[in-house]
Structure 1
Amino acid sequence: MTDNLSPDLDRRPAGTPSIRRIAAIVNEAGGSVGAGAADEMRTILSAFTGDAEVVSVGPGEIVAALRAAVDTNPDLLITLAGDGTARLAAELCGADGPLFAPLAGGTMNMLPYALYGRGKWQDALESALKAGRIRAAPGGSVAGRQFYVAAILGAPALWAPAREAVRHGKLMLALMRARRALALSFKSKLRFELDGGRTSKAEAVAFVSPLMTAACAGEAYMEAVALDPRHAADAFRIGFTSLFGDWRSDPAVRSHCCKAAHVAARQAIPCLLDGELCRLDRDVDVAFVSNAFYALVGPDAPPAAADAAKL
């Protein structure tokens, strides 16, 4: 396999990980990808190794393609797709699987921006391949399902479809979805306990990875954010800022640091996992995971938000 490596890899700084086999999944229909991205990916990878497989997929083919790629046991898995694909790929890699490089190919790109900044995906990839380092990425789990950016439990999670409708210019659809989210508010509160403490109530609870927040010192905790609107005006304000701003700064929000939580409700709990909407049981456990997966990042990668706060 060494004969397949380019001189660029041979001259990488000492201590950088050995990358021989690479698998890449490209969704050219992604929010910021476009036609020709798979061929561009092949060109970049061919300069670093002769053992790289790049698969271009459509939306209905992503899950199967990701599972097949991980099953080949590559040294590095690359995705160029949206947030949902990045979340699933990170979960499949886990702490024991291949290194993972989620490149920005969606509309929000929360995990890629946290790991690589907001530059071009081509630059991020070349930097990681030439002089990459391994970074342990924290995250969490909700009812056994992984998240790496944030999990929002409760009715305000339903504002996400309205946000996406606004993002795509479908204002009437956004209004309809916003009305639905508001109609489901105030019907019942979530009950939650943080680290085995007393039971509290809130309209929703968000759990945020240290990759994204500097609110909790170090990477040993996730941030728990309780959203508790008292009336419709508060709900509208939180819903609006969840579309366009920092909802954690809203006066109807309370923030805590924790490693574990228990959340319960009278009915199934809507949940937003790294931008993907799903429904959970009425009773779920949330846990912080310090080494959720291992990312390959370049030497100029931004620090985690928690680390940046110390600089």
Structure 2
Amino acid sequence: MKISKIEVVVNIASGSVGTGAPDEMRALLSEWGVQANVCAPEGGDLTRCLRDAIETGPDVVLVLAGDGTARAAAELAGPDGPLIAPLPGGTMNMLPYAVYGVTPWQDALKGILENGREQAIGGGEIEGRTFLVAAILGSPALWAPAREAVREGKLTLAFARGQRAFRRAFSGRLRYALDDGPRGKAEALTFLCPLASKVMSNDEQALEAAVIDPKGFADVARMGIKSIIDDWRNDPSVHTQPCRSAGVWAAGRIPAVLDGEPARLSATARVTWRPKVARILAPPAEAAAETPA
């Protein structure tokens, strides 16, 4: 597809970017004969940069930052705004890896400049916040920091975070109702968007809901280990099904992770599938299939 007008937003303070990224970005785009406006605020006013970039009406907005900034860009652009290219520049990079595979941002950028395709992306919404990859509600959300510490090789920190998550297990079970189904109780719930699901195609108009209901501390420990080294959905304590809307409530505020970002939800929350949140610049379907997240 023809791309001529590009806006770029870079978070130089993000997990894997650095101060040299804006110049490197300009150089790579110049090789393709494209001049771009690059915004890399030292003060971290990324929301203003995103809003200004989108309001200029470019063909695409390249976002080199973390998952939270990529999600904010998609929300600001909306389903009818410019294309968004969420390049991996954060710590977890859940959305970029789901779109482009596990690859450096330079390679992802070259790929979409050479052969990028427009793709509509759906997502979930909870308490006015959008998630484009996954939402985890309940105590397993506390395992996310432990997993990241393992990836970074910080095993002592991972152990400490794992202990904290283990101590909080069973501290408050969730009540839920999926679509029009019966009410149930669970330790936690997760909602995966089709982009990240291993069992749903991108064309399916629903979330993959997973009910996590361990029966004791042995199950919690096993599930915690799986969340670090394996796919926790393979655990026998987990049941999955498609879902377009869900109600979730608890005795107190609900710990959550939305696209890798920790959050605290109200004691009563509603999760809803949104079929088109934004448009993204993605690799061809066959290329994406070769490099899964």
What TM-score do the two structures reach when normalised by structure 1? 0.84
Name 1:39's counterpart in structure 2: 23
For residue 85 of structure 1, report the CA deviation from its aligned partner. 2.1
| Secondary structure of residue in 1 paired with 2:28 | helix
Name 2:183's counterpart in structure 1: 199
Matched, 1:208 2:192: yes
**Aligned partner of 1:155 among 118, 139, 143:** 139
Q: Is the 8 A contact 1:151 1:273 kept in 2?
A: yes
Matched, 1:239 2:224: yes
Name 2:288's counterpart in structure 1: 302
Give the letter for the 2:121 counterpart.
A
Instruction: Kindly provide the CA deviation profile for residues 94-149 of structure 1, in whole angstroms up to 9, marking residues without a partner as x.
Output: 21221000112223322112212233432332332233221111211112210011
**Stretches of structure 2 lacking an aligned partner (at least 5 in a row):** none
Matched, 1:88 2:72: yes
Q: Is the 8 A contact 1:27 1:59 kept in 2?
A: no
Give the letter for the 1:68 counterpart.
D
Instruction: Kindly provide the CA deviation profile for residues 251-310 of structure 1, in whole angstroms up to 9, marking residues without a partner as x.
Output: 1111111111111111101110010000011111111122111111233641599xx9xx
Name 1:11's counterpart in structure 2: none
For residue 167 of structure 1, report the CA deviation from its aligned partner. 3.3
| Secondary structure of residue in 2 paired with 1:302 | helix
For residue 208 of structure 1, report the CA deviation from its aligned partner. 0.2
Matched, 1:273 2:258: yes
In structure 2, how many angstroms separate the alpha carbons of the residues matched to 1:163 and 1:61?
A: 29
Q: 1:26 to 1:205 in 2, by over 3 A?
A: same
Give the letter for the 2:268 counterpart.
D
Q: 1:58 to 1:201 in 2, by over 3 A?
A: farther
For residue 189 of structure 1, report the CA deviation from its aligned partner. 1.4
Give the letter for the 2:88 counterpart.
A
| Secondary structure of residue in 1 paired with 2:58 | coil
Give the letter for the 1:235 counterpart.
V
Q: 1:298 to 1:163 in 2, by over 3 A?
A: closer
Instruction: Kindly provide the CA deviation profile for residues 196-254 of structure 1, in whole angstroms up to 9, marking residues without a partner as x.
Output: 21101110000001111132464212100111111112112222222222111111111
Identity of aligned residues (%): 49
Give the letter for the 1:297 counterpart.
A
Q: Is the 8 A contact 1:115 1:301 kept in 2?
A: no
Matched, 1:78 2:57: no
| Secondary structure of residue in 1 paired with 2:23 | helix
**Aligned partner of 2:87 among 95, 98, 103:** 103
| Secondary structure of residue in 2 paired with 1:256 | strand
Give the letter for the 1:253 counterpart.
V
Give the letter for the 1:272 counterpart.
V
Q: Which runs of 4+ in 1 moved over 4 A?
A: 47-51
Q: How many matched pairs?
A: 290
